[in-house]
Amino acid sequence: MFDMISINLLVILSVFAIAGCQTATYTQYMPGPPLEYAQAKCNMLAPSVDQGYIAIGSPSYVAGAALGNALGNAIAEQQFIKNCMTLQGWRQDAPGAKKSSTSLASTQLPHQRTAKRRPTAQELGVPGQVVAGQ
């Protein structure tokens, strides 16, 4: 009824379908761009690590080479995204980890805090215009 290649392919595709449903959550650990911007940038650049392939032989050999190449590319893209997000200031949470309510992402970052008001030059008595010869 089904040959061994069809069964193996069905099992592999089922695993990918289930694994593809996982979502990654991130915690900001250093100042950087917002999460949506960092994800968009990393997802846009990830396909640049894909490798091509050449396979000559029987149809099953070529199909296996294509599948192996697709797996390798998917792994390389995920690793690229992880590294890219880390460089953007976002670290991927462990699967099933609960986000703490006091994470850096939910607090105000140092560069986002409002600075203390500085007195103006007029308040300090510094003349606004200096005319030569005064």
Reported as a single tens digit per residue, the pLDDT across 105-125 is 445 555 555 556 777 767 777
* pTM score, whole prediction: 0.58
pLDDT at residue 8 tops 60: yes
Local confidence band at 132 (pLDDT 50, 70, 90 cut-offs):
low
Reported as a single tens digit per residue, the pLDDT across 51-82 is 999 999 999 999 999 999 999 999 999 999 99
CA distances from 78 to 30, 49, 50, 75, 85 (A): 21, 10, 11, 5, 11
pLDDT at residue 94 tops 80: yes
pLDDT at residue 87 tops 90: yes
